[in-house]
């Protein structure tokens, strides 16, 4: 079992994109990062990249769409470290067909999206919560999106008013609601739970993004490292509160 005094962070879907950049930025802050990914080879490749940049990192096999994988991952982190200080639920998918109207998206798209973006996130959190309780100040960061804001979708002046990807959007609305419920449950503990919007970041999932990965990871990193006086049950982007 690890005896490291550094904070230990698990980032799911961290072999590329915002997840990998989040791992890099946390590592630069002295955090020991666990790169969670469903592809072991890609996770190891990401770890090698991080180590080359001077970051303390290790790989972890975890598929948030697979219950057995989640449970095995939690057992492995317990075996290696005995605790977890930071959980960044970064893994997510966007499957909506941009050419279809909301009512035309397939039920298969809805189910698969929710299996990863919501049910996988909740199940991962449940599995690692006992280890987060062993931390002096556990932090849970849920990757959401402004596309999960019902208020923004209803506002004709909002930049997302005409941008409707229902399965993805509603899954993120549900992530926001889960964040509020879990934060309430843990309000009398040292654990803080928050949702973040990374911004419109240029990634494999979002080719039209206008922010860099460095900018996109910043909100997650900030909430992962907040002190005892920091928020819980919030939804924000770079410290700015967003509408639910």
Whether 161 is catalytic is: no
Paired tokens of 134:
């062993």
Active site residue 192: no
Residues 6+ positions from 191 with CB-CB distance below 8 Å = 132, 133, 135, 137, 138, 139, 140
Looking up tokens 């009398």 gives 188
The residues, ordered by sequence, that sit 6+ positions from 99 with a Cβ below 8 Å of its Cβ are none
The Cα–Cα gap between 201 and 143 comes to: 13
Asked if residues 49 and 109 have their Cβ atoms less than 8 Å apart, the reply is: no
DSSP strand E in 39-164: where? 57-61, 86-89, 139-143
- Among the options 134, 163, 172, 202, which is catalytic? 172
Listed residue (190, 192, 85, 74) closest to 132, CA to CA: 85
Starting from the edge strand earliest in sequence, which strands make up the sheet with 32-37, in order? Answer: 57-61, 32-37, 8-11, 86-89, 139-143, 192-196, 235-237, 240-241
Q: Which residues are catalytic?
A: 168, 172
């Amino acid at each position: 079992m690890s005896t490291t005094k550094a904070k230990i962070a698990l980032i799911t879907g961290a072999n590329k994109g915002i997840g990998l950049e989040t791992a890099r930025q946390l590592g630069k802050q002295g955090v020991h990062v666990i790169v969670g990914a469903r592809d072991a080879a890609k996770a190891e490749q990401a770890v090698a990249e991080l180590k080359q940049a001077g970051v303390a990192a290790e790989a972890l096999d975890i598929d948030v769409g697979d219950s057995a994988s989640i449970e095995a991952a939690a057992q492995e982190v317990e075996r290696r470290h005995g605790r977890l200080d930071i959980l960044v639920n970064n893994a997510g998918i966007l499957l909506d067909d941009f050419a279809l109207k909301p009512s035309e998206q397939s039920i298969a798209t809805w189910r698969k999206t929710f299996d990863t973006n919501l049910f996988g996130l909740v199940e991962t959190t449940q599995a690692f919560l006992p280890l987060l309780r062993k931390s002096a100040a556990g932090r849970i960061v849920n990757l959401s999106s402004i596309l999960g804001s019902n208020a923004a979708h209803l506002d004709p002046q909002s930049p997302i008013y005409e941008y409707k990807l229902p399965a993805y959007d509603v899954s993120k609305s549900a992530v926001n609601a889960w964040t509020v419920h879990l934060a309430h449950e843990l309000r009398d503990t040292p654990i803080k739970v928050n949702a973040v919007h990374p911004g419109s970041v240029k990634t494999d999932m979002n080719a039209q993004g206008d922010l860099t990965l460095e900018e996109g990871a910043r909100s997650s990193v900030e909430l992962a490292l907040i002190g005892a006086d920091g928020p819980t049950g919030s939804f924000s982007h770079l410290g700015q509160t967003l509408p639910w």
